[in-house]
Amino acid sequence: MALVRSEIAGSVWKIEVSVGQSVAEGDVLIILESMKMEIPVEAPSAGVVQALHVAESDAVKEDQLLVTLS
Protein backbone atom coordinates (compact mmCIF):
# COMPACT_ATOMS: atom_id res chain seq x y z
CA MET A 1 0.00 0.00 0.00
CA ALA A 2 1.22 3.49 -0.83
CA LEU A 3 0.00 6.65 0.88
CA VAL A 4 0.46 9.64 -1.43
CA ARG A 5 0.88 12.93 0.42
CA SER A 6 1.13 16.57 -0.59
CA GLU A 7 4.66 17.97 -0.72
CA ILE A 8 3.41 21.56 -0.45
CA ALA A 9 0.46 23.58 0.77
CA GLY A 10 -1.93 24.71 -1.94
CA SER A 11 -5.23 23.74 -3.49
CA VAL A 12 -6.41 20.78 -5.55
CA TRP A 13 -6.70 22.07 -9.10
CA LYS A 14 -7.57 18.81 -10.86
CA ILE A 15 -7.96 15.11 -9.98
CA GLU A 16 -6.71 12.94 -12.84
CA VAL A 17 -7.74 9.49 -11.50
CA SER A 18 -10.76 7.74 -10.00
CA VAL A 19 -11.21 5.05 -7.36
CA GLY A 20 -10.57 1.59 -8.83
CA GLN A 21 -8.33 2.89 -11.60
CA SER A 22 -4.99 1.16 -12.24
CA VAL A 23 -1.99 3.49 -12.42
CA ALA A 24 1.66 3.05 -13.37
CA GLU A 25 4.63 4.47 -11.50
CA GLY A 26 4.97 8.13 -12.46
CA ASP A 27 1.35 8.60 -13.59
CA VAL A 28 -0.10 11.97 -12.56
CA LEU A 29 -2.76 11.45 -9.87
CA ILE A 30 -3.59 15.00 -8.87
CA ILE A 31 -2.52 18.48 -9.93
CA LEU A 32 -2.05 20.96 -7.10
CA GLU A 33 -1.91 24.72 -7.49
CA SER A 34 0.34 26.81 -5.31
CA MET A 35 1.41 30.40 -5.93
CA LYS A 36 -0.13 30.21 -9.45
CA MET A 37 2.06 27.20 -10.32
CA GLU A 38 0.69 23.77 -11.21
CA ILE A 39 2.42 20.93 -9.38
CA PRO A 40 1.72 17.35 -10.52
CA VAL A 41 1.51 14.67 -7.83
CA GLU A 42 2.72 11.38 -9.29
CA ALA A 43 2.20 7.76 -8.30
CA PRO A 44 5.29 6.50 -6.40
CA SER A 45 4.61 2.97 -7.67
CA ALA A 46 2.17 1.04 -9.83
CA GLY A 47 -1.11 0.12 -8.17
CA VAL A 48 -4.85 0.64 -7.96
CA VAL A 49 -6.45 3.79 -6.54
CA GLN A 50 -8.17 2.67 -3.32
CA ALA A 51 -9.29 6.07 -2.02
CA LEU A 52 -9.21 9.76 -2.85
CA HIS A 53 -8.96 11.85 0.32
CA VAL A 54 -9.49 15.25 -1.33
CA ALA A 55 -11.81 16.85 -3.88
CA GLU A 56 -11.16 19.46 -6.55
CA SER A 57 -10.77 22.98 -5.10
CA ASP A 58 -9.95 21.64 -1.60
CA ALA A 59 -7.20 23.46 0.26
CA VAL A 60 -4.40 21.09 1.30
CA LYS A 61 -1.61 21.36 3.82
CA GLU A 62 1.95 20.13 3.45
CA ASP A 63 2.14 16.36 4.11
CA GLN A 64 -1.66 15.93 3.89
CA LEU A 65 -2.89 12.53 2.69
CA LEU A 66 -4.22 12.78 -0.88
CA VAL A 67 -4.52 9.27 -2.34
CA THR A 68 -4.23 5.68 -1.13
CA LEU A 69 -2.88 3.13 -3.63
CA SER A 70 -2.72 -0.64 -3.25
The end-to-end CA distance of the chain, in Å, is 4
User: What whole-number distance in Å separates Cα of residue 21 and Cα of residue 57?
Assistant: 21
Instruction: For the domain made up of 2-60, give the CATH fold.
Output: OB fold (Dihydrolipoamide Acetyltransferase, E2P) (2.40.50)
Per-residue pLDDT tens over the stretch 21-48: 999 999 999 999 999 999 999 999 999 9
CA torsion angle for 48, 52, 55, 61 (degrees, to 10)?
-120
Tell me what pLDDT residue 14 has.
Answer: 98
Single pTM value for the model: 0.94
Tell me what pLDDT residue 44 has.
Answer: 97
User: Residues 6 or more apart from 55 whose CB is under 8 A from it?
Assistant: 12, 15
Per-residue pLDDT tens over the stretch 51-62: 999 999 999 999
